[in-house]
Amino acid sequence: MSWPHKDLLDVTQLAKADALAILNAAASFQEINSRPVKKVPILKGKSVVLFFAEASTRTKTSFDVAGKRLSADTFALQKAGSSLSKGESLKDTVLTLQAMAPDAIVMRHNASGAAAFIAQRLDCAVINAGDGWHAHPTQALLDAFTLTRRWGSLEGRTVLILGDIAHSRVARSNIHLLRLLGANVRLCGPRTLLPHAVGALGVPVFSNLDEAVRGVDAVMCLRLQLERQQAGLLPDLREYSRRFGMNQARLAKAARNAVVLHPGPINRGLEIASDLADAPESLILDQVASGVAVRMALLHLYITRKEPKE
Amino acid sequence: MSQAELVVRSALPALDPENPVDLFVAKGRVLGLHPAGAYPAPEGAKVHDAQGLVLLPGLTDVHAHLREPGQEWKETIATGLAAAAKGGFVNVFCMANTDPVNDKASVTQFMLDKALATHPRGPRLFPVGALTVGLDGKELAPLEELKAAGCRAFSNDGRPVADSELFRRAMEYASDLGVPVIDHCEDPFLAPHAGINEGAVSARLGLRGAPTAGEAIQVARDCLLAQYLGVPVHLAHISCRQSVEIIRRAKAQGAPVTAETCPHYLALTEEACEGYDTAAKVNPPLRTKDDQLALLAALEDGTIDALATDHAPHAAHEKETPFDEAPNGISGFETALSVTWELAQRGDLSTRALVSAWCVRPAEIFGLPLNRFQEGDPADFLLFDPKARWKVTPQALVSKGKNTPLTGRELTGVVRACFVAGKNVL
Ligand SMILES: [Zn+2]
């Protein structure tokens, strides 16, 4: 299929039709994942560099599995032990990567804008696997995919994003994508974990979780970085979990059949009560499975786009 | 009366462009300013035809970074002063955050020697000495020694003094010496060198921003100290409405404060950082339209006294990184006058305020000789072509620092000649 984008840097690049096309493609790849032999040859001979300048096991593994199931060769380049830890500039790293002539680079970096920075300088597809506090488009797409599988469509649904919005690329990407797909989005978190100009994000903001949760169809919990307490953004973590921890009692105030999501890894008992994380309302493991399918779809779309037309 | 050695013919005074004048100069000083054609040029005098060019007193930049010693790949005193001359500056103050820091006489002397060796006729260099040793904000630098070596102001620019007690003592000690203190106002905890305003753009881009309050808190502290001690302080590169309002109130109450802002705060907003454009990363950061309007009004009513460039050159590779990792700073000498001239043309700023902020007030505040085109004034002036258009490109800039968010823009106005003590240094 024809695909208009060279890179996936942020969901803001995608039109609604693009996003739906990705979710559709993911649905067909999800089917492959349920076969006894979970491998197809469609990216045979293609190479994917997994460039993770910031530690991540889940996302990297998810992309690695996705690439291998499509028969692509995947190579990991991590910060520890690479020239990155010796102070090499990102530009020089990019030039090194270019010389390896990969078909796609999946990149995680702690600087906002890093994915756009390398994409401008590389000919191959760049897929942003998270840059700083800025964007995490593949997470947003897998979350949308998970909810679409559950609901059929996001139109008219209300999703609450809960927790550390200010420092969350997951939140920024989800706010945009969920709205693009027709959902209403609300935010809830302590003032210290909201961007000062939160109004610029264009969605309602709550400081009281019991009010925020009323009538919502899904609650998307964010991971809390425990250092936020030392940084003076929070009192003790017990207080955080009392005010902003998701649990069964609070979920009871949401719409019927409401679900909870979490991008992982979870701090059990902090962002989400342990029993709720394991309950049928929890889609956390569905998100992991969706992640592989969505990333297969993305690798396929972005790599085969460059195939010469017959 | 001595005989004119130089006659500048038919220039248009910036404040009275309808009435062309002839400027007579002798021995580096102004002899007189007369209606065009009123007097013949004496025999042997050099005649400089300035038909269609605007005549301005030379500009004084009280805030620039020339990077030498220690970071010559960014700029040298030679390239910096050449860029300054091209921008119309006859006096340039260079900040102390070199390597080594300008906190001892030998460094000051080195700077002055370099300036004299490379630009014997000007622009003149005025080193700004460090207020504290190593700019560490812990102990006072030897201010008397620095003054004796030629420092004309003291500042911890770049690494503002957070300790209010130490800052107070620095102000007192410097005032004894009669040397002004320039403060970069930034609460280092609240405004952590972010290079982008805390606001809508930083929220969208996922970058940590610096709130205006981080500047304004320090502005308030300095105003309160100035009033309490009766000791002057000059506030550098003011960027926001909150600061302006505090300064206006302090001045109304008689606090001996003066302030400057920079062309980029008047011409650009935080939107210039969209797309993670590191060329627009500057400290304090570019703010909003509302802040811009407040700064323009403050220049107009004199709440902000002066303009300065905060010329901060960096090498291309240093800015070619993700936003968070890029150094702060904009290369400003060569675009400064064009940018502010355009504001005046658009009516956002009066020509009177422009001349006052670039030419008059900086010289007054820092005790430099001032050219009001009266007999005996230093013949520091420039001839500016107000119609010429030019495009900002790396090749067009003589500064080593090509880092400007104006790259690619067409600007109006070119400095055709920059005279320091009667000699064209362009
Ligand atoms: Zn400064």
- The token pair at A171 is 């939140």
Pairing of strands A218-221, A158-162: parallel
pLDDT along chain B (426 residues), means of 10: 89 96 97 95 94 97 98 98 98 98 98 98 97 96 97 95 95 96 94 89 94 97 98 98 98 98 98 97 98 98 98 96 95 98 96 98 96 97 97 98 98 98 96
Compute how many other C-beta atoms are within 10 angstroms of the C-beta atom of residue B239. Answer: 27
C-alpha to C-alpha distance for B269 and A122, rounded to whole angstroms: 30
C-alpha to C-alpha distance for B104 and B176, rounded to whole angstroms: 19
C-alpha to C-alpha distance for A206 and B247, rounded to whole angstroms: 36
Give the amino acid at B344: A
Distances (CA, A) of B55 to B15, B58, B158, B355: 9, 9, 34, 11
Decide if A200 and B205 are in contact by the 8 Å CB cutoff: no
Judge whether A121 and A94 are in contact, CB under 8 Å: yes
Question: Which residue in B202, B275, B320 is closest to A91 by CB distance?
Answer: B320
Where does a domain end: B366, B393, B410? B366
User: What CATH number has the domain bearing residue B416?
Assistant: 2.30.40.10
**Of B364, B359, B363, B366, nearest in space to B336 by CA:** B359
Give pLDDT, residue A88.
Answer: 79
Q: Are residues B33 and B171 in the same domain?
A: no
Range of the domain at B384: 6-55+376-424
Residue located via tokens 């709130």: B211
Kindly report the nearest CA distance between residue A279 and chain B, in angstroms. Answer: 33
**Is B90 a domain residue?**
yes
- The token pair at A293 is 């399918």
Judge whether A229 and A235 are in contact, CB under 8 Å: yes
Q: Are residues B46 and B60 in the same domain?
A: no
Residue A84, pLDDT above cutoff 70: no
Radius of gyration in angstroms for the set of CA atoms belonging to chain B, rounded to a whole number: 21
Per-position DSSP letters for B205-264, written without gaps between them:
HT---B-HHHHHHHHHHHHHHHHHHT--EEE-S--SHHHHHHHHHHHHTT--EEEEE-HH
Residue B63 marked as a ligand binder? yes
Q: Are residues B305 and B402 in the same domain?
A: no
Look at residue A186 and give its three-state secondary structure: strand
Chain B residues lying within 8 Å of A131, measured CB to CB: 206
Cα dihedral B144, B150, B156, B159 sign? negative
Look at residue B409 and give its three-state secondary structure: coil
A90 touches B at CB < 8 Å: yes
Q: Is B413 exposed, middle or buried (0-12, 13-18, 19+ CB in 10 A)?
A: buried
Q: What's the number of domains chain B is made of? A: 2
**Is B350 a domain residue?**
yes
Where does a domain end: B322, B345, B366? B366
pLDDT digits (tens, 9 = 90+) for A41-82: 999 999 999 999 888 889 999 999 999 999 999 998 866 555
Give pLDDT, residue A197.
Answer: 87
A121 touches B at CB < 8 Å: no
- The token pair at B165 is 């007690």
Core vs surface per residue B352-382: b (16+ CB within 10 A) or e: ebbbbbbbbbbbebbebebbeeeeebbbbbb
**Is B297 a domain residue?**
yes
**Of B90, B97, B91, nearest in space to B126 by CA:** B91
Q: What is the mean pLDDT of residues A88-93?
A: 86
Q: Is B192 exposed, middle or buried (0-12, 13-18, 19+ CB in 10 A)?
A: middle
Distances (CA, A) of B12 to B6, B24, B90, B122, B304: 17, 14, 19, 24, 27
C-alpha to C-alpha distance for B209 and B190, rounded to whole angstroms: 10
A233 secondary structure, DSSP code:
S
Cα dihedral B201, B203, B204, B210 sign? positive
Q: Are residues B79 and B172 in the same domain?
A: yes
Residues present in chain A in total: 310
- The token pair at B209 is 């921003």
Judge whether B185 and B160 are in contact, CB under 8 Å: yes
Q: Are residues B272 and B200 in the same domain?
A: yes
**Of B31, B85, B60, nearest in space to B356 by CA:** B60
Give pLDDT, residue A80.
Answer: 55
Residue located via tokens 């000007």: B122
Chain B residues lying within 8 Å of A200, measured CB to CB: 199-201, 203-204
Q: Are residues B24 and B100 in the same domain?
A: no
Q: Are residues B45 and B136 in the same domain?
A: no
B316 touches A at CB < 8 Å: no
Residue B100, preceding peptide bond in cis (omega within 30° of 0) = yes
Instruction: Give distance in angstroms: CA of A5 to centre of ligand 1.
Output: 41
pLDDT digits (tens, 9 = 90+) for A122-133: 999 999 999 999
**Is B1 a domain residue?**
no
Chain A residues lying within 8 Å of B202, measured CB to CB: 195, 197
Decide if B203 and A113 are in contact by the 8 Å CB cutoff: no
**Of B64, B46, B54, B53, nearest in space to B124 by CA:** B64
Instruction: Give distance in angstroms: CA of B344 to centre of ligand 1.
Output: 25
Distances (CA, A) of B130 to B96, B109, B141, B166: 5, 14, 6, 13
B173 touches A at CB < 8 Å: no
Give pLDDT, residue A273.
Answer: 97
CA-nearest residue to B201 within chain A is A200
**Is B109 a domain residue?**
yes
C-alpha to C-alpha distance for A304 and A155, rounded to whole angstroms: 30
- The token pair at B353 is 């305020």
Q: Is A67 exposed, middle or buried (0-12, 13-18, 19+ CB in 10 A)?
A: buried
**Is B312 a domain residue?**
yes
User: What CATH number has the domain bearing residue B64?
Assistant: 3.20.20.140
Distance of CA A237 to the CA centre of its chain: 25
**Is B383 a domain residue?**
yes
Judge whether B370 and B377 are in contact, CB under 8 Å: yes
Alpha helices in B75-234 (DSSP H): 77-86, 105-118, 143-149, 164-177, 200-205, 212-229
Residue located via tokens 């030629």: B150
Give pLDDT, residue B141.
Answer: 97
A1's CB contacts (< 8 A; 6+ apart) are A21, A301
Q: Are residues B43 and B85 in the same domain?
A: no
Look at residue B180 and give its three-state secondary structure: coil
Question: Which residue in A89, A117, A195 is closest to B276 by CB distance?
Answer: A117
Residue A100, pLDDT above cutoff 90: no
**Is B326 a domain residue?**
yes
Q: Are residues B327 and B419 in the same domain?
A: no
Q: Are residues B405 and B272 in the same domain?
A: no
Decide if A113 and B211 are in contact by the 8 Å CB cutoff: no
Distances (CA, A) of A155 to A177, A188, A213, A294, B96: 12, 21, 18, 20, 59
Judge whether B65 and B312 are in contact, CB under 8 Å: yes
Judge whether B131 and B168 are in contact, CB under 8 Å: no
Residue A307, pLDDT above cutoff 80: no
Per-position DSSP letters for B352-400, written without gaps between them:
HHHHIIIIIHHHHHTT-----S-TTSB--EEEEEEEEEEE--TTT--SS
Give pLDDT, residue A308.
Answer: 44
Instruction: Give distance in angstroms: CA of B333 to centre of ligand 1.
Output: 15
Query: Which phi and psi (to 5°) does residue A27 adopt?
Result: -60, -40
Where does a domain end: B344, B366, B388? B366
Q: Are residues B160 and B288 in the same domain?
A: yes
Q: Are residues B298 and B351 in the same domain?
A: yes
Decide if B198 and A197 are in contact by the 8 Å CB cutoff: yes
Residue A201, pLDDT above cutoff 90: no
Model ipTM over 0.90: no
Instruction: Give distance in angstroms: CA of B313 to centre of ligand 1.
Output: 13
C-alpha to C-alpha distance for B231 and A133, rounded to whole angstroms: 44
